[in-house]
Amino acid sequence: MRTVLVTGLGGAGRTTIAAATALAGARRGERVLLLTTQSGAAERALGTRLGRPGGAPVTAAPGLLVRCVDPAGHFRQEALAFQERAAAALDLLGAAPLDEEELTELPGGEEFALLHALRAAHEAAGGAGGTDTIVVDMPPAADTVALLALPEQARRYLRRLLPPERQAARALRPVLAQLAGVQLPTQKLYEAAERWEHELAAVQRVIDHPGTTVRLVAEPGPGAVADLRAVRSGLALFGHRTDAVVANRLLPTGSADPFLAALSGQQQSALKALREEFPGAPVVEVPHLGRDPEGAEELDALTGAAAGEPAEPGAAADPWTVEDRLAPDGILVWRVPLPGADRDGLGLLRRGDEVIVTAGRFRRIRTLPSALRRCSVSGAGLRDGALHIRFTPDPDLWPRGH
C-alpha cells in the first residue's frame, strides 16, 4: 500500500494539493482515503460537504473517501481513557476526576490525532474493499519532521524510564495488589507503558514502510528555497523519502505587466534553485488559477502536476551505511545522508553506545552498530551531501587478527 504525507511551508496550499493528490489517485482507479484536520479547506477544495469532524468517511468522488479527523474529540477520548485506567492511583492521591465537558484540547492534539488516524487507517486497509492509497494532509513541514520523529524518540524515552528488563517482578504485582486491596500504581504504570509501546511501534511501522513517502508543497520564492533546504536535511536525518516537490501557484511567464513579470521571474529563479536542491525528486509545477480552486473539476486541472504517477516503493534499507576501510586506512566510516545540511548547523556527540547527530533544529539519536561500539570516534566531515563519521577500532576491544 502507498501512503503520501503531504506537507510544506505555511500558506503554500498543502490541503489543496493533498486533495488534488487524492483525487488524482481515484481518477486512476485506486481506492484512496484522504485524512485531514482542515475540514473547511478540504470541503472548499473538493466542493462537497464532508460531515462533522470525527464522523464516518465521506465519498467525495468515485473511489475517494475523505475522513475529517477530530483532534478535540480524540483528545477527550484519550484523556478520559487514561483517567479511567489511572483511577486507583488518582484515588490514592485524593484527586478529583475531570468531566468530559471540562476537557479542552491541548496544543499538539492535532498532530497526535493525525498519527492515530493514520495508524488506524493502515490497520483497516488490509480488509475486503480496503484502501490502495492513503493521502495525509500533514502540518507544516518543520512540524511534520518533528512529528514523524516522535514515535522513535518516545519509544526510546519509555525504554529508559521503564526498562523492560526491570519488569521481572511483574508477576508479583497482582499478588501484592490483592494483599493491599488496591491495584498498585506501578502496575498501572507498566501497563500504560506497554500500551504506549504497542501504539508507537504500530505508528513507527507505518512511517518506516517502504511505500510511505513525503510530498513537499511550496510557493516558489527565495525564502521557500532556504526553508525547504532545512526541511530536506531533517527528512534525510530520519530516513524519510521525498517523492516530489510541488511548486504551487505559479504565475504565467511573459507578462507585459512589469509587476507580474518581476514576480514570475522570481518564481522561475526559485524553481531552478529547487531543482538543484532536490536532484532525486521531481519538481512539478502547478499553475495559479487566479483564485483558490473549488470543486473536483477545478482540482482536475491541478491533478496531473500535483500528483503524477505513483512512485515505486523503495527498499526498506537503512540509509545509514557502514563502509569498511580497515584494510587501507584502518578505520570504519558511518555514512549519514544529510542533503541540504549546513556545516555550521551540524552537531555530533558520542554517548556510550549511542551517537547524537544534530542538523539545524533537528536531532536524532541512534544506537551504534555492534562493530562500531568497539571503536572510538576519530573524526567526521560533511561531503557530497552526507556526514561521514570515522571510527577507529579500540585495540582493547577489537578482536585480534581483524
3 vs 194: which has the higher pLDDT: 3
- Domains of the chain in start order, with CATH, are 2-305 (3.40.50.300), 321-393 (2.60.40.790)
Q: What order of strands is seen across the sheet that includes strand 242-250?
A: 58-61, 64-68, 32-36, 133-137, 2-8, 212-218, 242-250, 283-287
Report the pLDDT averaged over residues 29-54.
90
**pTM given for the model:** 0.86
Q: Sorting pLDDT into bands at 50, 70 and 90, what band is 176?
A: very low
Q: Are 148 and 104 in contact (CB under 8 A)?
A: no
Tell me how far apart the alpha carbons of residues 17 and 28 are, in angstroms, rounded to a whole number.
17
At residue 167, the pLDDT reads: 53
Tell me how far apart the alpha carbons of residues 138 and 101 are, in angstroms, rounded to a whole number.
28
At residue 251, the pLDDT reads: 93
Average pLDDT, the chain: 83
Q: Which of 88, 119, 140, 311 is nearest to 201 (CA)?
A: 119
Q: How does pLDDT run across 138-153, given as a tens digit for each residue?
A: 999 999 999 999 899 8
- pLDDT > 90? residue 267: yes
At residue 186, the pLDDT reads: 60
Percentage of residues of the chain with pLDDT beyond 90: 44
- pLDDT > 80? residue 114: yes
171-185, 284-298, 299-313: least confident range:
171-185
At residue 161, the pLDDT reads: 75
Q: Which of 332, 303, 341 is nearest to 19 (CA)?
A: 303
Q: Sorting pLDDT into bands at 50, 70 and 90, what band is 185?
A: low
- pLDDT > 80? residue 17: yes
Cell of 27: 481518477
Tell me how far apart the alpha carbons of residues 136 and 126 are, in angstroms, rounded to a whole number.
18
Tell me how far apart the alpha carbons of residues 152 and 200 are, in angstroms, rounded to a whole number.
8
Q: Are 8 and 246 in contact (CB under 8 A)?
A: yes
Q: Are 331 and 378 in contact (CB under 8 A)?
A: yes
Q: Which of 402, 382, 400 is nearest to 390 (CA)?
A: 382
Orientation angle between helical segments 141-161 and 222-237, nearest 10 degrees: 20
Note every long-range contact of 311-316, with CB atoms under 8 Å and residues 24 or more positions apart, other chains counting.
311/2, 311/213, 311/243, 311/244, 313/2, 313/210, 313/211, 314/210, 314/241, 315/210, 316/208, 316/209, 316/210
CA 203 to chain centre: 10
Q: Sorting pLDDT into bands at 50, 70 and 90, what band is 168?
A: very low
Tell me how far apart the alpha carbons of residues 336 and 355 are, in angstroms, rounded to a whole number.
12
At residue 357, the pLDDT reads: 95
490483592: which residue's cell? 178
At residue 301, the pLDDT reads: 75
7-21, 88-102, 104-118, 373-387: least confident range:
88-102
At residue 199, the pLDDT reads: 86
